[in-house]
Amino acid sequence: MNKSLEKTLQDADVSLSVLQALADNSFDSVLVTDATKAGKIIYANKSFSKLTGYTQSEVIGKTPRILQGPATDKKVVGRLREALMEGKKFEGKAINYKKNGTPFIMYWRVVPARVGKDTKVWIAIQREGVAVE
């Protein structure tokens, strides 16, 4: 990390403010889940709501599985689950579903946020692909 940025981010209030500004103003959907086996959502940005139709309050405490449906590829979900169990990052695409039931292709990257060797949360960065017919 850049030394100037690292020095600035040593202040916890500044660090949190930077994180909040990045996530809230991203063009991409951002979800943060806890690092438990359940993987419950603890944060969803505005772009997530725009992409899926779910408000932040509707998803907090739930799992990202609320986006899955009949056409969601179980093999991709299995690869994701395996990567999470191994503490590794994941990239993939799958058909997911908006709140109104409309299917869409979602590309996503899931990365661990660690303190030392311990994963504290998982961060999912998502974007919509070509529309599903």
What domains can be seen in the chain, in order of their start residue? 29-131 (3.30.450.20)
Within the chain, what is the greatest distance between any pair of CA atoms?
A: 49
Of residues 5 and 34, the one with the higher pLDDT is: 34
Q: What is the pLDDT of residue 133?
A: 54
Q: What is the pLDDT of residue 20?
A: 86
Question: Is the pLDDT confidence value at 132 over 60?
Answer: no
Q: CA 112, 130, 62 angle in degrees (round to 5)?
A: 40
What is the bridge-based pairing of β-strands 90-97 and 41-44? unpaired
Please give the average per-residue pLDDT across 58-62, as a whole number. 97
CA distances, 12 to each of 9, 18, 95 (Å) = 7, 10, 38
The model carries a pTM of: 0.86
